[in-house]
Amino acid sequence: IKTLDVDGAGKCEMAWFEQEVDHFAWEPVNGSTTWEHRYFLCEPKDTKKPANGAPRPIFFYCGNEANVELYVNNTGLMWENAGDMGALMIFAEHRYYGESWPFGTEAASTKREHLKFLTHEQALADYAHLILYLKDRLSLRDSPVVAFGGSYGGMLAAWFRQKYPHIVSGAIAASAPVLAFGSWDDTSYWAAVTRDFSPAGGCSPGCAEAIRAAWTPLFSRGSTPAGRAELSRVFGMCAPLQTATDVDHLAQMVAMALDTLAMGNFPYPSSYLSDPSSPLPAWPVREVCKRMDAAAAGDELSLLAALRDGSAVLYNASKTLRCLEIPHDQSYAGIWDYQFCTQALPQESYFGRTGDKDMFYPFRKSKGDVDKHCLHKYGVVPSRGWIEESYGGVDGLMQSSNIVLSNGGMDPWSSGGVNTSLSESVVSLWVPEGAHHLDLFFSREEDPPSVRAVRKAEVEAIRQWVGQAPDVAKG
């Protein structure tokens, strides 16, 4: 049995649960209807009895598009408060990620005919079945459940509360772009990335302008064989740039690096968005801007070298990279690309850029281009209106209750989030200095006061939902 010791906060035991391959049909798939779903059952180091004589609560993490151990080891908001509230913690892995493969292996599960079972509805049904099973097995039938999640996991937490309110008493949905659908302006995402590289993000006034200025010499050189050879040398490419398309891919690679650094613009070193052995520095965007600010004025090669060195804050965080290789996957999404190609779950590599609202260059994938890509790769086209039809956007949230939606001023995904409270119990919390779901992480000395205040508000909401608030005792 695999166990995890989480930063001295407590221990987890890995377990498996027999889930349905398809919760919404009755016929066997390949002769079987079930698969083994991985989850972790976790106990904090010191657990008190629940206040007010309330039943023991369950804190449930809605796993998203990665190995669930990433969230087990980083979701400090759960670990730091579970003991005080006497809560049991469950971290569930999302189907088709980590080790949770409905057809046994990654190769078998990602065959085109098997991918149709990768939907967020199937994942939520997995979570509902798992919770009901554990409540029965552990004699916790009366236990209130609080869903937690960040990013896509935050979307799942909010939707879990909307779709299964009889199972989930409340949801902490951090950095959840639940409004990034339909008529939402996707160029606002890259404008939000740009904000991190401005004085509002703690950078010099010239940083974003220097990045914007670097694209012109990059693309002009990319239009000729001699220019591409020069770019290959400046960027230290593993393979020479042969075509203008190769240069487009290099530009996209740099843009995605700057995007990831904005998401990971935390006030302390962190490996959450990088290789665990090579953490990003504190405030990594400011490190990029130091390099851009050092470029010689009017020197195009110096500007391009600064852009290279800026993207290396991510790509060469280990400082051992010998050359730069363009990823084969131009979606930068892995299997998440299928979720974009079916239910239009947001993926920034497809979002438009203007070159004036942001520090990048004009970029737009047409609906036809996207459909062609999705048809070629998966045999599907996106159902672009499905999420809004299913959950109703703002209107749907206003009909719900007990959802906290937190966002950060440093996080590009805040552009697709709920940034205004919708009712007394569907509440928006704002972290001005917060990058991607900073509030979910373990408390650190470097945390800004704003995230401390948001965590306090989140804990107060959770206490209300699980019947442990001081005013409940008085009433």
What is the identity of the amino acid at 181?
F
Does 474 have pLDDT greater than 80? Answer: no
Residue corresponding to tokens 């919760």: 23
pLDDT of residue 403: 98
> What is the rounded average pLDDT for all residues in the chain?
95
pLDDT of residue 204: 96
The pLDDT tens digits for 12-31 are 999 999 999 999 988 777 76
- Per the model's pLDDT, the better-predicted residue between 339 and 331 turns out to be 339
pLDDT of residue 471: 54
Does 173 have pLDDT greater than 50? Answer: yes
pLDDT of residue 8: 74
Percent of the chain at pLDDT exceeding 70: 98
pLDDT of residue 472: 44
Does 118 have pLDDT greater than 50? Answer: yes
Report which of 313, 272, 278, 201 is spatially closest to residue 442, judged by C-alpha positions: 272
Report which of 187, 210, 201, 356 is spatially closest to residue 295, judged by C-alpha positions: 210
- Per the model's pLDDT, the better-predicted residue between 1 and 141 turns out to be 141
DSSP string covering 255-285, please?
A: HHHHHHHHHT--SS-B-TTS-TTSPBPSSHH
pLDDT of residue 135: 97
Mean pLDDT to the nearest integer, 214-234: 98
> Looking at 55-116, which runs of residues are DSSP E strands?
58-62, 88-92
Catalytic residue numbers, as ranges: 151, 411, 436
pLDDT of residue 1: 56
Q: How confident is the model at residue 315 (pLDDT cuts 50, 70, 90)?
A: very high
The pLDDT tens digits for 236-260 are 999 999 999 999 999 999 999 999 9
Mean pLDDT to the nearest integer, 123-131: 98
Mean pLDDT to the nearest integer, 431-448: 98
Report which of 75, 265, 88, 86 is spatially closest to residue 174, judged by C-alpha positions: 75
Q: CA-to-CA distance for 264 and 272, rounded, in angstroms?
A: 8
- Report helix, strand or coil for 30: coil
